Structure 1
Amino acid sequence: MASFLFWHMRGERAELASHTAMVAPGRRALWSLCVCFTALHTNALRVTMRESTAEVVRGDFVILPCSFFTSSPLSRLNIIWTLAPLSSPESPIQVIVYDHGQIIEDPSLIGRVGFTGIPWSADIMVNDTRLSDAGIYRCMVNNPPETADPGIGELLLTVLVAPSLPTCQWDGDMDAGGSVTLSCSVVEGVPTPEIHWDKLNPEEISLPINMEGELSGSVQIVNVSSQTSGLYRCSASNLLGTENCYINLSIYSAVAGSSSGILQGVLLTLSMSLMLLTLLVLMTWLHRTGQDGRRRVSKEEEEEEEEGYNEIRYTPSLMKRSFV
């Protein structure tokens, strides 16, 4: 029995070895075919984007990298860069083209875009960047007579923008017990600015904010009182900086209103008293001035009468008549 099992296992091994010998040439042929295909694929045109994303501050320049490998001469090289703007990705535009030694720029980008290493590299530079330059850029390279599909690479460009100066407004009832809403909004900023509200005095306090879209936020203050009065600040911040705007709230309470009315009444009474006192002094002065004038006139009349009496008394004619 043991002898039978030994010879049976030996026969199976022989059959397996024979099968392996028959399959080996097929495997070698398949491996050779794969190597040849890989070599052909390696020699075909291919495009490599060294970066998949890029960032630039608005107004600066940026280089968009696009490398390619080809085994054919570059006499018929064709490179096309396109942009799908973030504002309208369904409407791509042609940024710049290199075709048979000629360079064609999009009219809106003339003077702001150009190749940096043509024909050995498809890299381009965009200067004086604008917010409209942000989007998905595609680099497409074709080099006949290579019949493979053109190589295409993609890159996302983000244009960074500092927050614009925010606009602060308030709305509501400024009387005690009322409700006031503070609102703040910015026009632009990339990345989207974060908006914060703070009360600065008598101590700095961060306030809860209700976002109304990406670029605006508000704070609602209910049941306001004199303690609500103070200076409030709205801050819009992103990685490029912070911009602020301010609102100074003054809440009018009932006590303050009555005190103000009393003060106004006191001031009015004082002013009227002063006017009456001035009028009295003026009348007294006029009265005294009139009496003094009448006294001077009466004295002058008496002196004139006395002088006239003396003249009549001592006239020569009377003296003569007295001695006759």
Structure 2
Amino acid sequence: MGCSGWWLLWTACLGNSVLQHNAVRVTVRESSMEAIQGDSVVLPCSFFTMIPLSRLSIIWTLAPLSDPDSPSQVIVYDQGQVIESPAFTGRVGFTGVPWSADVILNDSRVSDSGIYRCVVSNPPEVGDPGIGELSLSVLAPPSLPVCLWEGDTEAGGSVTLSCAVAEGVPTPEMRWEKLEPEKISLPLNMESDMSGSIQMANISAQTSGIYRCSVSNVLGTQNCYINLSVWSPPDDSPGILQGVLLTLSMALVLLALLVLVLWLHRTGQERKMRSPREQEEEEECYNEIRYTPSLIKRSFV
């Protein structure tokens, strides 16, 4: 190969090296991060460019865990202007533009979890924009669960106790227990990640008691309760019927005695209310003795 060939090869390599050197380089210092719901978190993104920053553009996007194929803009810096997404208005902001692409996210929410992408371009910088990615997980304690029951609470019936929690990251662990008269763990049928139930068949008076559903993760525990009362119908045995008849008989006897006492009391009151003359006449009437003389004639022969 002649000198001209070597010159062309060296020129191409130098041009390629210059192009690679002039492309914007983006560095993300953390590939994955965690935050607790309500806290603030800084999403890091630094870049390097050889061109003045008069036309710098920084775009942050989020691909949420609920829909990773539909990313949306979070915040944009374009030639000195900052534009916030309506979903993040008042909660997100750059910390050091134009020298840094870091953003701070305030009042973090579970819905903020997902893949964040930092895209930096600086025309007339050649090459593709620099891109950095990081994942954010926003943790949340369990919300207050809701306990419900349905079924027939008469002895011999069937009852279902259900428990559901609306929020919790990581997914809360659920547990059902009977607290009285002694604590007993109960088998749980998980209907989804956030709800579960227990079924009880052929219940009896011993089934009555206080039941507790507990949901917990690394950030805390929440509980809800159900006070279950099993109703037993009365026994129609002959002994109970005899007891009822005996009770009715005694009640009738007591009623008769009460009527007699009231009658005697009323009679005594009436006698006290008579005048002294009436009482004397009554006594004379009782004390008077009358004799009817009879003449007996006898003949003696």
TM over 0.5: same fold?
yes
CA distances 1:119-154 after superposition (whole Å, capped 9, x unpaired): 111000010122332222211100111121111122
TM-score by length of 1: 0.72
Mark the structure with the bigger radius of gyration. Answer: 1
1:212-239 CA distances to partner (integer Å, 9 max, x unpaired)? 1111011122333344333221111111
Asked if 1:171 is matched to 2:157, the reply is: no
Match 1:155 to one of 134, 139, 148: 134
Task: Pick closer, same or farther for the CA change 1:296–1:145 going to 2, 3 Å.
Answer: closer
Q: CA deviation at 1:83?
A: 1.9
Identity of aligned residues (%): 59
Query: 2:123: which partner in 1?
Result: 144
Contact 2:22 2:125 in 1 (8 A): no
Structure 1 residues 282, 190: CA separation in 2 closer, same or farther (over 3 Å shift)? same
Which residue of the partner structure matches residue 198 of structure 2? 219
Greater share of residues in helix: 1
Match of 1:130 among 91, 98, 109: 109
CA distance in structure 2 between the aligned counterparts of 1:262 and 1:75, rounded to whole angstroms: 101
Match of 1:322 in 2: none
Matched letter for residue 61 of structure 1: S
Query: If the length of structure 2 is used for normalisation, what is the TM-score?
Result: 0.77
* More moved, 209-218 vs 104-113: 104-113
Cα offset, 1:250, TM superposition: 3.3
Among candidates 74, 80, 85, match of residue 106 of structure 1: 85
Q: How does 1:13-162 map to 2 (within 5 A)?
A: 37-38=16-17, 40-162=19-141
Q: 1 CA distance for matches of 2:219 and 2:250?
A: 64
Give the 3 Å change call, closer, same or farther, for CA 74–302 of structure 1 in structure 2. Answer: closer
Deviation of the 1:268 alpha carbon: 9.6
- For 1:72 and 1:260, the matched residues in 2 are separated by 100
Give 2:235's match in structure 1, choosing from 258, 275, 287.
Answer: 258
- Residue ranges of structure 2 left out of the alignment (5+ in a row): 283-301
1:40 Cα offset (Å): 4.4
What amino acid is the match of 2:42?
I
In structure 1, what is the equivalent of residue 254 of structure 2?
A: 277
- Match for residue 290 of structure 2? none
Match of 1:190 in 2: 169
Secondary structure of the 1:212 match is: strand
SS at match of 2:271: helix
User: How far does residue 166 in structure 1 lie from its aligned partner after superposition?
Assistant: 1.1
Q: For 2:60 and 2:246, how far apart are their aligned partners in 1?
A: 84
When residues 253 and 112 of structure 1 are mapped into structure 2, their CA distance, relative to the original with a 3 A threshold, is same
2:33–2:135 contact (8 Å) kept in structure 1: yes
Say if 2:176 and 2:211, in contact at 8 Å, map to a contact too: yes
Do the aligned partners of residues 260 and 242 (structure 1) sit closer, same or farther apart at CA in structure 2, a change above 3 Å counting?
farther
Aligned counterparts of 1:261 and 1:143: Cα–Cα separation in 2: 98
Structure 1, unmatched stretches of 5+, are: 1-21, 306-324
- Kindly tell me the number of residue pairs found equivalent between the two proteins: 279
1:210 has 2:202 as partner: no
- 1:241 maps to amino acid: G
What is the RMSD computed on CA atoms of the aligned residues?
A: 3.6
Q: CA deviation at 1:110?
A: 2.4
Structure 2 match to 1:299: 276
Query: 1: distance between equivalents of 2:59 and 2:119?
Result: 5
Structure number with the bigger relative contact order (C-alpha 8 A, sep ≥ 6) is 2
Structure 1 residues 300 and 154: CA distance shift in structure 2, 3 A: farther
Displacement of 1:261 in angstroms is 11
Letter in 1 for 2:76: V
